Structure 1
Amino acid sequence: MADAPEIREARPRRSVADEPVTSVLPGGDVPFDPTHEFDADEEVLAALGYKSEFKREFSLFSTFCVSFAVLGLLPSFASTLYYGMGYAGTAGMTWGWIVAMVGIQCVAMSMAELCSSMPTSGGLYYAAAVLAPPGWGPFAAWITGWSNFLGQVTAAPSVNYGVSAMILAAASIQNPDYVPTNYQTFLLTVFIMLIHGVMSSLPTRWLAQINSGGSTFNFIALIIVIILIPAGTDRVARGLPKFTPSSEVWGTIYEGTSFPAGVSVLMSFIGVIWTMSGYDSPFHLAEECSNANIASPRAIVLTSATGGLFGWFLQLVVAYTVVDIATVLDSDLGQPFAAYLMQCMPQKMVLAILALTIIAGFAMGQGCMIAASRVTFAYARDDCFPLSRFWKQVNPITQTPVNAVWLNCAVGILCLFLIFGGSLAIGALFSIGAIAAFVAFTTPIFIRVFFVGNRFRAGPWNLGRFSIPIGIVASAFVILMVPILCLPSVTGADLAPDVMNWTCLVYGAPMLGVIIWWFVSAHKWFKGPKVNIEHMMLGREGNLVEGVESKANDSGSDIVRDSKAIEATGKGVTEVK
């Protein structure tokens, strides 16, 4: 990794076996450019088939900051309180959160292991292509990529919708005669989206500083709110005990659905899953992070663990202080978190907490747009989208994928028209984010566990002998939750279009279209992740190189790819099978 220049002159091409990554390059060689001294991160990325196109100005801390800002515990909790509290009550918020976090943490650790082995902006999409059985790589990448894109592109609009709803709810608290309308919520959300589009187009160094500040504020605001709610509650002045008895908090399941209590608790996991779905951001920022195959997986696990712990603390203080769940859900304020605060806090304190949550939500939305733009850029780089040549361009001034930012911004604004379909319609954005993200998260994990097994070549951060058991738990958790998240809250004669869970349609229809597109056309031209560096072994354009093999690492484990061919293109080579 840190060879001296004279060694490079004696052996101009390094073996990928010397790099702690799972390579796709033929023969395991890193391209050699006598005019450029490769640093450790560039060697790792070159072994994966890409040239460095971003400045590596994210550290472990700044990467964690972006990820934690995308996680946005406080605004995420406020935006999804309707599901976490409304489906199963306080029981779902207390021990239900713990159960959900076991599965989520397993997903995060398995993802971190993949990130250490393949630290690219393509992330999960790249891993699915490399690990899939021969001939299935492009299809695995296609499904993973599009599902991840749907999760990423709906993240910013759903977060910003929650922020707008809180802003307008605060206005209603100040002026009880004011009732927010759908078009006001829509216009305010669009305005916030445009601001985030401008901010996300800035240079990487500025983005790192902005997100460090935003994440720091997120964390401080979360701590303040966790302390402020139990300290400032005025339940006693309202003739209630200061806190609800533990037996009631932990033992009472609110009948918020027509399903049995156990299923209702599982349905309440949508709040946990959506809140905790931002920890993949370090994977997508790996090409902008220094020491990526160590720092990025650490940031993934740190984000998930920190978010899970502090998110549970927030759940606890709300569960012990809520007065009437039904009133929270049916409030005219249109925002359950604001309605909850009005039940147990003085008005000035309510407005203060809402202000902290709104600012934290603004930072979260901007972090979501940054992460989404990197995903779009990575997929466009491999021609996954129509007009990919535009979306994969890196702005020469800012050195960031500005075109990808504005594509995501436009798609997000179109999604916001769901606001006019009512609360359940716009609520589908949250379910889509949960399902789409976790399908993308788990597809390469499932392939790695059940198809690659012990042949997986782990990076420097790995789970050792616990890798496969943890991967099995992660896969089982997601397989269980996908159908659960599509269930409506009511059944039988009470099920009507206005109370239907539209997730299966809003997520399923695009994914069905993507699958049809694959079999009709895309399988002919989409060949998965592309190598966009000129590899000196290939010779002139058009040559075919037989086999793709990464040699065994020091522990003897390896992953061998029996690809039939690597076809050279003007920009590099593309994995065919």
Structure 2
Amino acid sequence: MSYTNATHVDSDNYQLHQRGSKDYKNENNTTGVHNDAESVSANELLAVLGYQSELLRTRSTWQVAFMAFVLSSIPYGLSTTFFFPLTAGGPVAVVWGLVVVILIILCLAISLGEITSVYPTAGGVYYQTFMLSGAGYRRVAAWICGWAYVLGNITITLSVNFGTCLFFIGCVNIFTDEEGNGIWQAETYQIWLVFVVITLLCNATSALGNKWLPLLDTVAIYWTFAGVIAIIVCVLAIAKNGRNSGDYVFTAFENSSGWRDGWAYCIGLLQGAYVTSATGMIISMCEETQQPAVQVPRAMIGALLMEGACGLIFLICLLFVLPPIAEVLGSPTGQPLPVILKSAIGNSGGAFALTIPIIVLGILCGIACTTASSRCTWAFARDGAIPGSTWWKKVNAKLDVPLNAMMLCMVVEILLGLIYFGSVAAFNAFANVGIVFLTLSYVMPVIASLIGGRKHLKQGHYDFGAFGIFCNVVSIAWALFIIPVACMPAAIPVTGSTMNYAAVVFVGGTMVSAIWYVVWGRKNYRGPPTDDETIRRHSV
């Protein structure tokens, strides 16, 4: 993306652009005219923020909300991380852990929504951190936030694709031989190859089918609810091995992690943290949205509410037919959901059929994450912050996607996937380091906004006042809490193969960022293409 000339507008003009989309009227009563007006307003605002529009604005409020929902893909995300709360607390950790996390992340979504209504760019939290930070440290703060945001997007996308791979193999192993072993005892190289195929499929779909992605996200919503309803109805109606009591589902606490009960419950929160970690990734789509200052904040909050409702119903129904936890965790499939379904349905074929909607959701989630990660990488590269930025910031005009940035993300994901050859707990590392990087990136503009007195919010669409301050404080406290939790082993005692390597990946990514800053960024990086006067006017 090319920069505009030094952007220099006064606050009144900025507010006019920011709120202008509210005043457009569809005099001809045609959707096309209205959408064109919305796009013009959004592109003018983008120019005020320092950039020229290069991507088509094709997404409506509902389409953005649907993509945000698909990024989390609640049934899939909960299924692949079900072992966290089952190991570290059982039903209490499953149900109430998700409730706690949803309420906390709702505060984070409100905090980010307020800020995004002022600065709706694909750079997302990175751009926001730069604009809201003090003059003496904004470049370093934006550099740290940008790298955390990019690496978080990449590692979360990696975890989704790798999780789909492991889940698929676990579902195939619902079918067993005469000795009770799964029919596919996949070798390590086979697992990695399946992961590579899934990654290639997601990238090909995102790159070649970009104009169809909003429709795909819409279809995914119906597919999600149809799949969840099918699973709920079948397991509760058949319940081959009986049903648990409501008292068990909502109050039973079983800790088999080896940790003390209190800390074990904290570990169990990682399931909710993982499925909601993509909340802020949708900000990367601001430059493909018709009215991003309004639509993206609404989408974040609306999608989160849908995720909470769908996730709780899904989990509670599974807990009613949950077999003994020791049996679930000891299954050779390595995946709790296939074991639960097989126990409830009574046969392998029926259980496998019910896993198909979740497998498909895993693919759809991977496509959405691939799309979002490519946009945030491209946005960071256009400001020269990634080695080889000249190449990565290019947009493929024919496909209307930042194809080079997408390929960069794909290669990094495939290479990181090689960690699985050294540790069978690699998925835990990918999921947890994604939580760490994204949480860090999300909270940085919130901290900067709070330190600055939240004065910039008067230029946006949303300012929740005292409640917004409360949400800011909760978001910061959550980051301080969940980042160290995500770096801890899920269970003890710990062996080399079960160690949580999230901290290792985090340190590795941080070192790459730090080295590049010393080598190049310290003297050359200037942040987004906005002059000091513009920053001053937009921050007061």
TM-score, structure 2 as length reference: 0.89
Match of 1:289 in 2: 289
Take 1:396 and 1:66, find their aligned partners in 2: how far apart are those partners? 23
Match of 2:24 in 1: none
Q: Is the 8 A contact 1:276 1:308 kept in 2?
A: no
Q: How many pairs align?
A: 509
User: Which amino acid in structure 1 is aligned with residue 495 of structure 2?
Assistant: A
Are the structure 2 counterparts of residues 401 and 521 from structure 1 closer, same or farther at C-alpha, using a change threshold of 3 Å? Answer: closer
The answer to whether 1:548 aligns with 2:528 is: no
Take 2:512 and 2:535, find their aligned partners in 1: how far apart are those partners? 34
| TM-fit CA distance, 1:549 | 5.1
The answer to whether 1:75 aligns with 2:73 is: no
Are the structure 2 counterparts of residues 252 and 378 from structure 1 closer, same or farther at C-alpha, using a change threshold of 3 Å? Answer: same
User: Which amino acid in structure 2 is aligned with residue 525 of structure 1?
Assistant: N
Take 2:38 and 2:201, find their aligned partners in 1: how far apart are those partners? 39
Q: Residues 292-344 of structure 1, C-alpha deviation per residue, up to 9 Å, x if partnerless?
A: 11111110111111112211222211222211112212211122221222222
Match of 1:450 in 2: 451
Match of 1:319 in 2: 319
Take 1:404 and 1:222, find their aligned partners in 2: how far apart are those partners? 34
- Range that drifts further, 473-482 or 244-253: 244-253
Match of 2:258 in 1: 258
Bigger helix fraction: 2
- Structure 1 residue runs of 5 or longer lacking an equivalent are 1-10, 22-35, 237-241, 532-544, 552-557, 561-577
Q: Is the 8 A contact 1:293 1:461 kept in 2?
A: no
Take 1:46 and 1:229, find their aligned partners in 2: how far apart are those partners? 53
| TM-fit CA distance, 1:49 | 1.1
Match of 1:163 in 2: 164
| TM-fit CA distance, 1:275 | 0.7
| TM-fit CA distance, 1:217 | 1.7
Take 1:270 and 1:118, find their aligned partners in 2: how far apart are those partners? 30
User: Which amino acid in structure 2 is aligned with residue 65 of structure 1?
Assistant: F
Are the structure 2 counterparts of residues 439 and 175 from structure 1 closer, same or farther at C-alpha, using a change threshold of 3 Å? Answer: same
Take 2:269 and 2:79, find their aligned partners in 1: how far apart are those partners? 15
Match of 1:527 in 2: 526
Match of 1:329 in 2: 329
Q: Residues 440-489 of structure 1, C-alpha deviation per residue, up to 9 Å, x if partnerless?
A: 11111111113343454451133233211111111111111111221224
Are the structure 2 counterparts of residues 365 and 232 from structure 1 closer, same or farther at C-alpha, using a change threshold of 3 Å? Answer: farther
Match of 1:18 in 2: 16
User: Which amino acid in structure 2 is aligned with residue 432 of structure 1?
Assistant: V
Take 1:382 and 1:203, find their aligned partners in 2: how far apart are those partners? 27
Secondary structure, in 3 states, of the residue corresponding to 1:422?
Answer: coil
Are the structure 2 counterparts of residues 12 and 333 from structure 1 closer, same or farther at C-alpha, using a change threshold of 3 Å? Answer: closer
Match of 1:202 in 2: 208
Cα RMSD between the aligned structures?
2.4
Take 1:179 and 1:355, find their aligned partners in 2: how far apart are those partners? 20
Take 1:473 and 1:149, find their aligned partners in 2: how far apart are those partners? 24
The answer to whether 1:189 aligns with 2:195 is: yes
User: Which amino acid in structure 1 is aligned with residue 499 of structure 2?
Assistant: M
1:232 to 231, 235, 238: 238
| TM-fit CA distance, 1:490 | 4.5
Match of 2:22 in 1: none
Take 2:403 and 2:68, find their aligned partners in 1: how far apart are those partners? 20
Q: Residues 513-542 of structure 1, C-alpha deviation per residue, up to 9 Å, x if partnerless?
A: 4235434542211121225xxxxxxxxxxx
Aligned residues with identical type, % of pairs: 25
Are the structure 2 counterparts of residues 361 and 191 from structure 1 closer, same or farther at C-alpha, using a change threshold of 3 Å? Answer: same
User: Which amino acid in structure 2 is aligned with residue 219 of structure 1?
Assistant: F
Take 2:532 and 2:83, find their aligned partners in 1: how far apart are those partners? 55
Match of 1:383 in 2: 384
Take 2:159 and 2:100, find their aligned partners in 1: how far apart are those partners? 25
4+ runs deviating over 4 angstroms: 11-14
Take 1:160 and 1:62, find their aligned partners in 2: how far apart are those partners? 23
Match of 1:496 in 2: 495
| TM-fit CA distance, 1:402 | 0.9
2:539 to 543, 555, 559: 559
Are the structure 2 counterparts of residues 37 and 436 from structure 1 closer, same or farther at C-alpha, using a change threshold of 3 Å? Answer: closer
Take 2:314 and 2:368, find their aligned partners in 1: how far apart are those partners? 21
| TM-fit CA distance, 1:87 | 1.8
Take 1:114 and 1:147, find their aligned partners in 2: how far apart are those partners? 18
Q: Residues 195-217 of structure 1, C-alpha deviation per residue, up to 9 Å, x if partnerless?
A: 11111113642222223223432
Q: Residues 60-92 of structure 1, C-alpha deviation per residue, up to 9 Å, x if partnerless?
A: 111112211111111111111111222221110
Secondary structure, in 3 states, of the residue corresponding to 2:419?
Answer: helix
Secondary structure, in 3 states, of the residue corresponding to 2:395?
Answer: coil
Take 1:246 and 1:38, find their aligned partners in 2: how far apart are those partners? 51
Are the structure 2 counterparts of residues 14 and 481 from structure 1 closer, same or farther at C-alpha, using a change threshold of 3 Å? Answer: closer
Match of 1:55 in 2: 56
The answer to whether 1:364 aligns with 2:365 is: yes
- Range that drifts further, 329-338 or 120-129: 329-338
Take 2:78 and 2:415, find their aligned partners in 1: how far apart are those partners? 24
Are the structure 2 counterparts of residues 496 and 372 from structure 1 closer, same or farther at C-alpha, using a change threshold of 3 Å? Answer: same
Q: Is the 8 A contact 1:282 1:297 kept in 2?
A: no
Take 1:288 and 1:500, find their aligned partners in 2: how far apart are those partners? 40
Are the structure 2 counterparts of residues 273 and 173 from structure 1 closer, same or farther at C-alpha, using a change threshold of 3 Å? Answer: same
Take 1:315 and 1:471, find their aligned partners in 2: how far apart are those partners? 29
Match of 2:413 in 1: 412
Q: Is the 8 A contact 2:118 2:456 kept in 1?
A: no
Secondary structure, in 3 states, of the residue corresponding to 1:499?
Answer: coil
Match of 1:354 in 2: 355
Are the structure 2 counterparts of residues 207 and 325 from structure 1 closer, same or farther at C-alpha, using a change threshold of 3 Å? Answer: same
Take 1:501 and 1:79, find their aligned partners in 2: how far apart are those partners? 16
Q: Is the 8 A contact 1:96 1:269 kept in 2?
A: yes
Take 1:523 and 1:222, find their aligned partners in 2: how far apart are those partners? 50
Q: Is the 8 A contact 2:232 2:317 kept in 1?
A: yes
